[in-house]
């Protein structure tokens, strides 16, 4: 297969042509931004309703006309919407409902069109893991409708269903794998750079909107004090966990690219990642690195080691600056005495109290079982379980958790068999990201929200890459030309 055949494959809807950066699509996106900015400068309170609606309309247009732009738009909605919501809160007052944060869910929910269109043929296309997971989610939805109020059920359904929809959408569009890969690599490069810069700014300055959010959300016990150098970094996102998961994925993806932005993105990204003090994600990053190193050819291993050493040289001087060095060193020291760590004790107690109860819950509580409506305020309150495994069995029961968890295990098992990871580092990294997030389900519900988008999205991309190479007949025998063309385009 020649480079031209890869770059202008007739099966691709947008290929690498300028259509992927369509002027029409960008006009719609800028229109969305201008409307949001105009309302923020004017009647900002109305943004809480209008922002999600306009975002949904923009997403539907991009999904139908410019699917590559839709992909990037979806990622950025998850990355930036929480910051915009905090700015609105500071201006017009706190919103307990967090209504603006519905926007990313609605944007990603548009991919339900892909499910309706391709579900009948999903099994034939190799989508059995997604079918099993959808079955588990559908079961949880039915039980929730019977046992719980409809509003909490609908809210919980979004958390569970949307990551699956997004991952299925990426997988089913395997013919567009090269252009999807390029878009994701470019998006996460800028994500690491922008979120990293803002994260350091947040730590040093503690801007008023972030301090306001920290106090009003009552997360000072877990996210630090609302003062300069006192916060744990969550950057533009709505809490530390989603930020840690996003940076974990983005920093691993940097190993698939080259270019002038890699070093500054790495420097700011790693420092902010360390300042978030998310030990779970630090471990996930390390696990992902080990997986990547063990799955690629020796030539690529040497390249990755070289990149890693350069990154260390760039980041190390920044970590010597006070109080950054003290914060990071103190957090690393906590690994040596986990039994005395309050977070570790809390999670251990949760397992001690809840494991037997969860495993004996055959039918499950269904969606909405972990949410309740406060009779005094009328607000939905969330009961948080710091374990994805316990959450699955509490919510889905055995009848729902077995197919859902089985789908996850099956997709990871399948991706571990892919030989394409030997010559396509993106498949190797995507698989490592998915597997590392999966391992973190022991101590967090990483299958929900943006963490779930990352989990199912990157596993879906690994499956898409495998199917793309299979269809094109690309093997290790003719990999050189194909990967040279792909990497040249990804580096631009």
Q: Which has more confidence, 362 or 481?
A: 362
CB of 182 within 8 A of CB of 16?
A: yes
Would the pLDDT of 204 be above 70?
Answer: yes
pLDDT band at 372 (very low <50, low <70, confident <90, very high): very low
Residue 17 has pLDDT above 50, yes or no: no
Residue 350: pLDDT band (50, 70, 90) is: low
Question: Is the backbone of residue 330 left (phi > 0), alpha (psi -120 to 50) or beta?
Answer: alpha
> How many other C-beta atoms are found inside a 10 Å radius of the C-beta of residue 217?
17
pLDDT band at 391 (very low <50, low <70, confident <90, very high): confident
- Number of structural domains (the chain) is 1
pLDDT of 349 = 64
450 versus 2: which is more confidently predicted? 450
Higher pLDDT, 267 or 373: 267
Residue 62: the pLDDT is 96
- pLDDT at residue 306 is higher than 70: yes
Domain extent, residue 316, equals: 3-490
pLDDT band at 373 (very low <50, low <70, confident <90, very high): very low
Percent of the chain with pLDDT over 70: 83
pLDDT of residue 3: 34
pLDDT of residue 10 exceeding 50: no
Higher pLDDT, residue 409 or 387: 409
pLDDT in tens, 436-468: 999 999 888 889 999 999 999 999 999 999 999
pLDDT at residue 339 above 80?
Answer: no
pLDDT of residue 293: 87
Q: What pLDDT, on a 0 to 100 scale, did the predictor assign at position 268?
A: 93
Supply the pLDDT for residue 466.
95
**pLDDT tens digit sequence for 207-223:** 999 999 999 988 887 88
Residue-wise pLDDT for 54-112, tens only, equals 999 999 999 999 999 999 999 999 999 999 999 999 999 998 888 999 999 999 999 99
């Amino acid at each position: 297969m020649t480079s031209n055949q890869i770059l202008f494959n007739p099966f691709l809807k947008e290929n690498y042509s300028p259509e992927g950066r369509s002027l029409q699509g960008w006009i719609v996106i800028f229109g969305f931004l201008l409307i949001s900015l105009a309302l923020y400068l004017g009647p900002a309170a109305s943004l809480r309703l209008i922002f999600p609606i306009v975002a949904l309309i923009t997403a539907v247009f991009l999904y139908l006309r410019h699917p590559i732009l839709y992909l990037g738009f979806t990622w950025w909605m998850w990355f930036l919407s929480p910051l915009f919501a905090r700015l609105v809160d500071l201006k017009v007052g706190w919103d307990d409902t967090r209504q603006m944060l519905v926007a990313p869910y609605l944007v990603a929910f548009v991919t339900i069109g892909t499910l309706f269109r391709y579900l009948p043929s999903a099994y034939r296309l190799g989508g059995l893991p997604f079918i099993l997971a959808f079955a588990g989610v559908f079961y949880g939805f039915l039980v929730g409708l019977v046992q719980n109020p409809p509003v909490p059920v609908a809210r919980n359904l979004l958390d569970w269903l949307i990551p699956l929809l997004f991952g299925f959408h990426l997988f089913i569009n395997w013919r567009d794998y090269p252009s999807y890969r390029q878009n994701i690599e470019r998006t996460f490069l800028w994500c690491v750079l922008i979120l990293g810069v803002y994260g350091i700014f947040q730590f040093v300055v503690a801007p008023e909107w972030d301090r306001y959010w920290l106090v009003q959300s009552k997360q000072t016990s877990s996210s630090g004090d609302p003062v300069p150098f006192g916060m744990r970094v969550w950057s533009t996102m709505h809490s530390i966990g989603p930020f840690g998961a996003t940076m974990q994925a983005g920093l691993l993806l940097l190993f698939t690219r080259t270019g002038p932005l890699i070093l500054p993105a790495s420097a700011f990204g790693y420092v902010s990642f360390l300042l978030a003090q998310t030990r779970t994600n630090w471990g996930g990053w390390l696990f992902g690195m080990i997986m990547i190193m063990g799955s690629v050819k020796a030539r690529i291993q040497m390249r990755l080691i070289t990149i890693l050493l350069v990154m260390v040289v760039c980041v190390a001087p920044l970590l010597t600056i006070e109080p950054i060095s003290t914060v990071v060193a103190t957090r690393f020291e906590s690994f040596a005495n986990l039994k005395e760590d309050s977070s570790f004790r809390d999670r251990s107690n949760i397992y001690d109290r809840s494991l037997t109860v969860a495993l004996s819950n055959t039918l499950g509580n269904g969606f909405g079982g972990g949410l309740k409506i406060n009779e005094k305020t009328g607000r939905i309150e969330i009961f948080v379980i710091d374990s994805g495994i316990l959450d699955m069995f509490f919510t889905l029961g055995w009848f729902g958790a077995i197919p859902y968890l089985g789908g996850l295990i099956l997709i990871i098992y399948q991706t571990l068999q892919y030989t394409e990871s030997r010559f396509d580092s993106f498949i190797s990294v995507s698989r490592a990201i998915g597997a590392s997030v999966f391992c973190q389900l022991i101590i967090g519900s990483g299958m929900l929200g943006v963490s779930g988008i990352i989990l199912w999205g990157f596993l879906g991309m690994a499956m898409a890459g495998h199917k793309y190479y299979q269809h094109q007949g690309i093997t290790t025998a003719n990999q050189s030309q194909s990967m040279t063309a792909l990497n040249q385009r990804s580096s631009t």
